[in-house]
């Protein structure tokens, strides 16, 4: 989201942007929700205590992938240039060591990820990780593994090999397994099969990640659109101000609609007969807000106020109600 800007903080002139380049159009932005801030503290403590691994699990579309992106960009404030890598766990019917190390090499940014056999790729990966840690002057390295519910037992063993090899050279690797609630099922299976080495290395303290569950959560998210999400960087133009420039001057703020929006979500759930615990995955909340900004802001209908019916239309358009109706029980 951060880009170089020619606009200063005091600029009263709405920034001119090429079409479809604003983060609301591209979707390339992160909102530091209450839940993400809680997760940040959990991750920070795990790294500081040199824990080998932590499970972060939750239902689909809660914003776990975006949370990883936020953490990767924010952790340097506490840990300097410590090497942090995001790995995507792809779906494979059978684990393959060559493929496993090829994909990790690719995800960590190594230019030679495809050449050689599995053993050569393993050695190349270890050399790369050790060199990066040494260059950063760090004895710690972090892996975030997204969609980790796809990991097979063999792949956990290969991960342990990586941890052990790094540890032998004085580098601590902390692995965050981020994925759906199936991760807990895998943990239970490992318990039943007495695979304690996997549990002890990666799954000691599961952490459940939630979406927006309270009025306070919703308020904080909307406040970010009003104050914290600035584009272009240092321009002083928050997302809300950019799409509602004139109303913004008259104290229009999305966070002032938090209570009403919360009530609309509850009402629509009741009308649809949804009895599951209240939770809004971030994907649907951001879709709702983006709809309002685009449809009713200065590039759309250019209104001065958002009505209850307009919020209803935005929520329905996000797909939230349908998703909740067919949401699997936990």
Helices (H), the chain: 23-26, 34-48, 64-74, 76-79, 97-108, 118-135, 153-168, 182-192, 196-202, 215-223, 239-243, 245-249, 258-271, 282-296, 308-318, 320-325
pLDDT at 5 over 60: no
> Which pLDDT score, from 0 to 100, does residue 32 have?
87
Mean pLDDT of 33-49: 94
φ and ψ at 99, to 5 degrees?
Answer: -65, -40
Rounded to an integer, what is the distance from CA 13 to the centroid of its chain? 33
Q: How many CB atoms lie within 10 A of CB 150?
A: 18
Distance CA 277, CA 175 (A): 30
Give me the CATH topology for the region 34-208: Rossmann fold (3.40.50)
Mean pLDDT of 31-40: 93
Counting residues of the chain whose pLDDT is more than 90, the rounded percentage is 90
pLDDT averaged over every residue in the chain: 93
Give tens-digit pLDDT for 96-119: 999 999 999 999 999 999 999 999
Distance CA 141, CA 31 (A): 25
Full-model pTM: 0.87
Q: Is 63 left (phi over 0), alpha (psi -120 to 50) or beta?
A: left
Q: Which sequence spans correspond to the domains of the chain?
A: 34-208, 213-325
- Give the total residue count for the chain: 330
Mean pLDDT of 204-230: 95
pLDDT at 164 over 70: yes
φ and ψ at 159, to 5 degrees?
Answer: -65, -40
> Which pLDDT score, from 0 to 100, does residue 329 have?
64
pLDDT at 25 over 70: yes
Give tens-digit pLDDT for 47-91: 999 989 999 999 888 999 999 999 999 999 999 999 999 999 999
Q: Edge to edge, what strands does the sheet with 53-57 contain?
A: 84-88, 140-146, 172-179, 53-57, 207-208
């Amino acid at each position: 989201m951060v880009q170089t800007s020619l606009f200063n903080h005091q600029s009263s002139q709405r920034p001119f942007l090429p079409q479809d380049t604003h983060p609301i159009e591209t979707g390339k932005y992160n909102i530091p929700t209450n839940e993400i801030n809680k997760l940040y503290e959990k991750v920070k403590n795990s790294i500081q205590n040199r824990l080998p691994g932590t499970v972060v699990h939750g239902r689909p579309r809660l914003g776990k992938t975006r949370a990883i992106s936020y953490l990767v960009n924010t952790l340097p404030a506490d840990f300097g240039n410590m090497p942090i890598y995001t790995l995507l766990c792809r779906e494979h019917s059978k684990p393959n060591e060559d493929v496993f190390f090829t994909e990790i090499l690719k995800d960590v940014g190594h230019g030679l990820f495809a050449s050689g056999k599995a053993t050569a790729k393993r050695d190349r990966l270890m050399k790369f990780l050790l060199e990066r840690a040494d260059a950063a002057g760090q004895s710690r390295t972090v892996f975030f593994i997204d969609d980790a519910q796809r990991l097979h037992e063999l792949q956990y063993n290969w991960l342990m090999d990586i941890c052990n090899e790094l540890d032998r050279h004085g580098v601590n690797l902390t692995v965050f397994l981020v994925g759906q609630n199936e991760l807990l099922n895998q943990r239970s299976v490992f318990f039943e099969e007495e695979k304690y080495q996997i549990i002890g290395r990666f799954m000691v303290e599961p952490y459940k990640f939630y979406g927006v569950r309270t009025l306070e959560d919703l308020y904080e998210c909307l406040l970010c659109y009003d104050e914290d999400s600035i584009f272009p960087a240092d321009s002083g133009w928050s997302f809300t101000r950019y799409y509602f420039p004139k109303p913004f001057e008259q104290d229009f703020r999305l966070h002032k609609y938090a209570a009403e929006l919360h009530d609309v979500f509850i009402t629509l759930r009741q009308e649809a007969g949804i009895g599951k615990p209240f939770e809004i995955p971030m994907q649907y909340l951001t879709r709702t807000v983006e709809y309002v900004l685009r449809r009713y802001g200065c590039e759309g209908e250019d209104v001065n106020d958002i009505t209850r019916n307009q919020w209803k239309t935005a929520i329905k358009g996000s797909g939230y109600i349908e998703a909740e109706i067919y949401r699997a029980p936990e």
